[in-house]
Structure 1
């Protein structure tokens, strides 16, 4: 029997604090070799091709996570036209399976889990890169859902002394500051020019930009830059300025997201990757961000994170009897 869980039920089963711990454990699993995570497969529904005309793409993201002994897959995509229709940009579902016998155990909404674990990935990466820091300054591009989960997750690990926020829609940045002001220990500064937000221990871009708006001159020493958007937020020259490159999944990061164009042009390869987050988590490699270094960190997102979070949610739901059950084999 598979348990079916909707978004409102999931929200009662998990907190951001929980998700940060789960992501940390799963990166350790990657470093120890107990996570199996193939690269994403993508179905283009018109995001970068003329047909079909839906301005969307959808990814299949399978994984096995040893510490929860669960396999699964997330089917998730982004629909560019949805916000104009009052619909969420991200649509996702997660299916879990018992790896010992192939019995499907859960079908869960994946949108909330995606948003939460994406924020937690950044927070955990910063934990590895700033192991001695208790507080940080943060620059953030994008005042949407992902921007909120980024800050919520980082606040679980660090005090935020100052957050600089920029959004192409000033009213969105203002609303963000009003909603998030009570969630951080320091002040929030709304920036009127994008370069003003490119300052901090961590600078994070969570936008739909495709024009490489983040300039080389903005990437200052002492910064860990997180280009988290699915497309092209940074100029190629910006990325090539990095002293160190850290990723979550080498093969995936070289054919998707920020590094894709550089990899296809032969300007970045596996040899240019300093470390994975899994290697940093278990101490297989060492890297500490400093005031003189530019670190590029690309946790593009893996199915393992979704499977791990969904597995913990499912365990709790089963214990409390939350959600409906359904037998697909009838």
Structure 2
């Protein structure tokens, strides 16, 4: 029997604190070799081609996560036209199975989990890159849902001494600052020019940009840059200015996101990757964060994170009797 869980039920079963811990454990599993995570498969629904005309793509993201002994897959996509229709940009579902026998154990909404674990990825990466540090400053591009989860997650690990926020829609930035004030220990500055937000220990871009708006001159020494969007937020020269490159999944980072164009042009390869987040998590590799170094961190997102979070949610739901059950084998 599979348990079915909707978004509102999941929201009551998990906190951002929980998700940060789950992501940390799962990165350690990746470093230990107890996570199996193939690269994403992408179905293009007009995101980068004229047909079909839906301005969307969908990713299939399978994984097995050893520490929860669960296999599963997330089927998730982004529809550029959805916000105009009052619909969320991201739509996702997660299916879990018992790895011993293939019995379906859960079908969960994946949208909330996607947004939460994306923020948690950044927070956990910063924990590895700034070990022992308790506070930091943040520059953020994008005042949407994932901008919110970025700050919510980081605030679980660090005190945010200052946040600089920029959005192409000033009203969105103002609302963001109001809603996220309780997550930021220090001052929130709404930037009127994009380069003003490119300052902080961590600079994060969570946008739909495809024009490489983030310039090399904005990538200051002493910064960890997180280009979290699926497309092209950073100019190639900005990315090439990095002293160290950290990724979550080496193969995957070359066919989607910030490094895709550079990889296709032969300007970045596996030899340029300093470490994976899994290697940092288990201490297999180390990076010395300093005021003179530029670190590029690209956690493009893996199915393992979704499967791990969904598995923990499912365990809680089973204990509390939340959700409906359904037998697909009938």
TM-score scaled by length of structure 1: 1.00
CA contact (8 A) 1:131 1:288 kept: no
- Alignment partner of 1:314: what SS? helix
Q: Distance in 2 between matches of 1:224 and 1:286?
A: 15
**Most deviating of 180-189 and 206-215:** 180-189
Note the alpha carbon deviations across 1:127-169, whole angstroms, 9 max, x for none: 0000021100000000000000000000000000000000000
Note the alpha carbon deviations across 1:233-261, whole angstroms, 9 max, x for none: 00000000000000000000011100000
CA contact (8 A) 1:47 1:57 kept: yes
Q: CA RMSD in A?
A: 0.4
**Offset, 1:207:** 0.1
Note the alpha carbon deviations across 1:26-72, whole angstroms, 9 max, x for none: 00000000000000000000000111000000000000000000000
Q: Distance in 2 between matches of 1:89 and 1:11?
A: 18
CA contact (8 A) 1:128 1:288 kept: no
Question: Is 1:261 aligned with 2:274?
Answer: no
Q: Distance in 2 between matches of 1:182 and 1:329?
A: 47
Q: Distance in 1 between matches of 2:307 and 2:289?
A: 30
Partner of 1:58: 58
**Offset, 1:230:** 0.3
Q: Distance in 1 between matches of 2:62 and 2:149?
A: 23
Q: Distance in 1 between matches of 2:177 and 2:74?
A: 32
CA contact (8 A) 1:61 1:302 kept: yes
- Alignment partner of 1:91: what SS? strand
**Offset, 1:3:** 0.1
Note the alpha carbon deviations across 1:106-132, whole angstroms, 9 max, x for none: 000000000000000000000000002
Partner of 2:165: 165
**Offset, 1:297:** 0.1
Q: Distance in 1 between matches of 2:289 and 2:15?
A: 28
TM-score scaled by length of structure 2: 1.00
- Alignment partner of 2:258: what SS? helix
Partner of 2:278: 278
**Offset, 1:289:** 1.5
Number of paired residues?
A: 330
**Offset, 1:97:** 0.2
**Offset, 1:182:** 1.6
Q: Distance in 2 between matches of 1:221 and 1:269?
A: 23
Q: Distance in 2 between matches of 1:156 and 1:183?
A: 9
Q: Distance in 1 between matches of 2:230 and 2:286?
A: 28
Q: Distance in 1 between matches of 2:96 and 2:323?
A: 15
- Alignment partner of 2:319: what SS? helix
Note the alpha carbon deviations across 1:274-315, whole angstroms, 9 max, x for none: 000000000000113111100000000000000000000000
**Offset, 1:184:** 1.5
5 Å-filtered alignment, 1:217-256, equals: 217-256=217-256
Q: Distance in 2 between matches of 1:195 and 1:319?
A: 49
Structure 2: segments with no counterpart, 5+ residues: none
Q: Distance in 1 between matches of 2:290 and 2:74?
A: 36
* Deviant stretches of 4+, over 2 Å: none
CA contact (8 A) 1:24 1:124 kept: yes
